[in-house]
Amino acid sequence: MTAVLFDFSGTLFRVESTGSWLRAVLEEAGLTLSEPELADTAKALEAAGALPGGADPVEVPADLAGLWAVRDESARLHRAAYTGLSRRVTLPDPGLHDALYERHMSPIAWSPYPDAAEVLRTLRERGIGVGVVSNIGWDLRPVFREHGLDAYVDAYVLSYEHGAQKPDPRLFSAACAELGADPRQVLMVGDNRVADGGAAALGCRVHFVDHLPVAQRPDALLPVLDLMG
């Protein structure tokens, strides 16, 4: 194996909780909710699937279904899909829906999994190429820079920059090409069996991890080092 491709959300990084997300935006806006109201509103946002990188919607509204299906193909579609879901929930100020979307793109909203740095650093030391292949509607590179992991990544292939989303094999192919790697000698690591499993169509080996809170998944990436030999 000569290279590893990683998914972003739920694989290398995890977004903050819905409650933390909402609380931060309310504080920034100088607004307050009682603790019960905040908890209920966060629960409603989570059920709506309004936090990118968080839980999927319990049910996608019929009028958003088409948009939801292609949300990662452009920045415009991504914003429209997630703010559309957010607006199903009543907030103290209508401007908070856009503020919530902006917040989730901030590096402070993301935490790397505890073993991410060790795995990426070790792969770099072994001379193994590393790529990030993500279904996303914004530039995640600042998240890697802020958390000190950008130095270990050789290529970023982001769906919104390519107008296609996983499991479309074109994204994995683009990443392999940037790394100069034969797909048959590449490992794809992700948390979504459908999206990330698309790499198998090119002959990549695929390894899955569970999309869990950071504190509940301290070492699930470490087996990648063994898989690379």
Residue 186 confidence (pLDDT) above 80? yes
Please report, rounded to a whole number, the percentage of residues in the chain having pLDDT higher than 90.
99
In this prediction, residue 107 carries a pLDDT of 98
- Per residue in 112-140, pLDDT tens? 999 999 999 999 999 999 999 999 999 99
From the CB of residue 142, how many other CB atoms can be counted at a distance below 10 Å?
A: 14
Q: pLDDT tens across 37-82, in order? A: 999 999 999 999 999 999 999 999 999 999 999 999 999 999 999 9
Contact criterion met (CB below 8 Å) for 226 and 121:
no
pLDDT at 117: 98
Average the pLDDT over 19-28 and give the result: 98
pLDDT recorded at residue 96: 98
Interatomic CA distance for residues 112 and 115, integer angstroms: 8
Alpha carbon distance 187, 2 (integer Å): 8
pLDDT at res. 187: 98
Contact 65, 125 (CB under 8 A): no
**Domain locations along the chain:** 3-14+110-227, 16-108
Q: Is 3.40.50.150 the CATH classification of the domain at 3-14+110-227?
A: no
- What distance in Å separates the CA atoms of residue 100 and residue 54, rounded to the nearest whole number? 13
Q: Rounded mean pLDDT of 178-190?
A: 98
At residue 94 the predicted structure's pLDDT band, cuts being 50, 70 and 90, is very high
